[in-house]
Amino acid sequence: MNKAGKKLSKLDRFLILEEILEALPDIRITALDRLWSDHTPILLHVTKSDFGPSLFKQYNSWLLRDGFDEQWHINVKNNDRNQKQEALNDLKNIDKRIDDGTANENDRDNRIKLIQVLDKLDNLEASDLNQKDHIKWDIEGDENSKFFHGMINHKRISQAITGIMHDGTWISDPSLTKDAFLNF
């Protein structure tokens, strides 16, 4: 905090070797309260976060089964494609009524809902394309793969949930954290 008491400074910083981050991927920092100093003490600790088995599993062998792709396309892709086409047609009809001046309030509400549906479907498609790009990069590799693996590990670490504040208490135990999420 500055002398006027209006601006807070950034956290104090420290340096750490990349090899340490690779050796200890579960390393975390916690900024402690300033009690006796004008600096923010930073606690460096290793927290193992094991949330147990995944709630959903997909086995690669499923992809090899006869008819899997066709069934998936029927159930997912065709449904999304049909839903998008139907939403676009409905939106076109509503826009035509708005242009003609024959639209009512219900049409305007439906238009907003259709735009939200289209946005959701576009986000799902963009997510699929993003995943395909990552798979392509994994297969083809890169000359600077150590750098990219470091970036991927950093992203995984920075997005990891190591604990949550629940009813005013910080919970870092994986099983209690999981229960707090499920009971939220």
Q: Give a yes or no: residue 177 inside a domain.
A: no
Q: Give a yes or no: residue 101 inside a domain.
A: yes
Q: Give a yes or no: residue 93 inside a domain.
A: yes
**In the structure encoding, which two tokens stand for residue 107, read together?**
């049409």
pLDDT of residue 1: 45
| CA atoms of 115 and 38, how far apart (whole Å) | 51
Q: Give a yes or no: residue 94 inside a domain.
A: yes
Q: Give a yes or no: residue 55 inside a domain.
A: no
Q: Give a yes or no: residue 28 inside a domain.
A: no
Range of the domain at 78: 66-144
Pairing of strands 27-31, 169-171: unpaired
User: pLDDT digit string (tens) for 3-56?
Assistant: 555 555 555 566 788 888 788 878 887 777 777 777 777 788 887 777 777 777
Kindly report the backbone phi and psi dihedral angles of residue 119, in degrees, each rounded to the nearest multiple of 5, phi listed first. Answer: -65, -40
pLDDT of residue 96: 92
- Give the number of domains in the chain: 1
